[in-house]
Chains A and B, each alone.
Chain A
Amino acid sequence: MTMKFVDEYRNANAARQYARAIAASATQPWTIMEICGGQTHSIVKFGIDELLPPEITLIHGPGCPVCVTPVELIDKAIAIASHPEVIFCSFGDMLRVPGSRGAEEQERDLLAVKAKGGDIRIVYSPLDALKIAQANPHKQVVFFAVGFETTAPATAMAVYQAARQEINNFSLLVSHVLVPPAMEAILASPHNRVQGFLAAGHVCTVMGYTQYEPLVQKYRIPIVVTGFEPLDILQGVYMCIQQLESGRSQLENQYVRSVRRDGNAAAQQLIREVFEIASRKWRGIGEIPQSGLELRQKYAEFDARRRFDISSFAIAESPECISGQILQGIKKPYECAAFGDRCTPEHPLGAPMVSSEGACAAYYRYRQRSLVTK
């Protein structure tokens, strides 16, 4: 396995050229939001924002699946994973997300359940969870299905296969979310500051980008489908600035090496077969209509919420955490009073401090000292 086309997109000279071109074209302040947490991570890790002229402000969007998964669902995951007959499968970075119970309680996150003897396994694909179910017919295997349109096809495939092969000890705790409705929620908010979007390249690889055309028309805002490497992001910003400076609002595709207008038809068909669109609560933001995926009636037997009787908990988020404002780009992580002090990756108050794609964790990891010594 060799990774081609990585260093090519991290070239210092080319990055400086883009930064100069952006500086030369920006005649007034502009605020651009990158949607995807992967892009946020790249921006902070490589210091892309430091190369940009002061006119350009990048604000970080809600595209971190760990961050927006509702706290009551984390609580449900913790409750299910604590069952002795359950093997609970999850992507790695969900394990440290705090649930609603206080730090003094023992089952604070899934890692704590694991430490108490819960059988929790990190998987890299929902299909791995399905294999675990086949190998352990006397256990209930539950997969924590979180993520955007990028992970939904693999989840759909696991459900589809489980149904075809009648694997009855497999179920899913589903919390899939969709990007375009979240962008619309941000644009419709009276607090909105966003003047241009970098759309998430990987989401568009699956879904294509026709879904963004109504947003461009309704809100007269430039949207540039953008990749994840430093040069991708700089080029995306450049294309966005060109539109803003010339008064255009169009849908453009920077990430042409991966994204086609119509996306991946087979993946979309699989998603439609297994899921239907439903309203979804986003952690820190609230209910967004038509923003999630739910199992269709035909596949309802694979819904872990039906299989396990989980009573609702009283929900108590940390009153100090301002993750909602962070996720909507209203505040930067270092504007939070708890940042780096009462809230750290070791003791997160909210999800954006947990995932590598969370804005708070990215700032803490790569910027902490420069903020402290400022």
Chain B
Amino acid sequence: MRLCDVEVELLSHREARTRDRVDVAAIFAEHHVGLVRLALIMVGDQATAEDVVQDAFARTHAGRSRLRDPGKALVYVRSAVLNGCRSVLRRRATVFRRAVPYEPPVWSAESAALVGEERRQVLIALSALPPRQREALTLRYYLDLTDQEIAETMGISGGTARSTIARGLAALGRALGEAL
């Protein structure tokens, strides 16, 4: 087979595919580090964060033929990661009740990681918030998403996103002993 034939073959094949579905693998490859960072903030340790992203990748990969809107692909992938974090934290809470030790967050005092005392207070206060508030705050203040993007990622309405963020900020302020 001549090289140019192969190219043409590849090209038509790829065009046909991109027409009818979004390339989840490419999105993951492009945003892998960012997604793991997001998961790290949510679950606190890198190994679990990587697992969460890998699982989310496996799940969205299986359902990729249903994913048709390229504009929504990143939102979809982010919610998959958030969902994964939620399940990990839920599982971990159960485990914790059984008093089995788990990997402490990278920013905890017993972990060797270097996060300033002042930052650590914030992160600990954040992890004490209800899951939805924590997620909404992370999406807003880490990823700088808009209300609408946060709403879509979390699967809630724009108004709920706004009020969740406001309540989360207020609770965080109280926990940190600061007036808003």
Q: Note whether A and B form a binding pair.
A: no
